[in-house]
Amino acid sequence: MNRITQLFETRQTGLLSVYFTAGYPEAGHTQAVLEALQRGGVDLAEIGVPFSDPLADGPVIQHAAAQALRNGMSLRRLFEQLKEIRRTVRMPLLLMSYLNPVMQYGFEAFCRSCAAVGVDGMIIPDLPFADYLADCRATAVRYDLKVIMLITPETSDERIRLIDEHTDGFIYLVSSAATTGAQQAFDETRQAYFRRIDRMNLRNPRLVGFGISNRATFDAALANASGAIVGSKFVQLLAQTASPDEAVARLLKDLTSDG
């Protein structure tokens, strides 16, 4: 059974997913970061594939992607780094990539490589949903990979229900239509959006991402979904601390302390 499916069958609340950019701050840190996240009790990890034009990302992840590319990180190198990862890491793993690197690699080859190294799913923010249905869904299903779709405050109820019907794993509930980046709090408009989605009684669980950086935003996400996704905050901490374990410890402290 897919590890993402297993996770949500055993836990429906309080989940923490953490994103980092492969190859940042050092090219060879992928395994060390994943092992540190697991030791810290993180529930699933999203490994970002660096891309030269990350349109959905704010300055923190843009900088990380640029540095990772300078460090020589590529999709092929990432798969090499992940070859033995299942010897030590048990939690679900997703690759988060823009469409261009995946298409350059070849979608079926990408799925085959994901399955070979033990990756459980993918997030491709700029993959059109119609193209996913027509060209990608059958291949992903064949390799038992979850393709996670994003919804925003501007996504119509009709489209949300279509996504819910034709995907599984979880739905990535984007907190706003802005780019990624830490926020201090979610205002009433955003929390009303979370509640609106909750009232739809979707089949898939949801994780809230974009802006999770402290206890206020983390608690707001947990109150309205199965869990939260942290990205920019953790990427910053990886650059600011001496080790991945210290970065994880700082993150968990920031998400659970009052100040």
CA distance 136 to 4: 19
Tokens of 126: 């700029």
Cite the beta strand spans of 101-225 per DSSP E. 121-123, 146-148, 150-151, 171-174, 206-209
- Cβ distance 56 to 28 under 8 Å? no
DSSP 28: T
Torsion 226-234-99-58 (CA) sign: positive
Token digits of residue 178: 């802005």
Residues marked active site are found at: 46, 57
Token readout for 116 is 């070979």
Q: Report which DSSP code applies to 12.
A: -
Q: Is the dihedral of CA 204, 210, 215, 220 positive or negative?
A: negative
Contacts of 170 (CB under 8 A, 6+ apart): 4, 8, 146, 148, 204, 205, 206, 207, 226
Token pair 């907190």: residue: 175
Angle subtended by helix axes 232-240 and 59-70, to nearest 10: 50
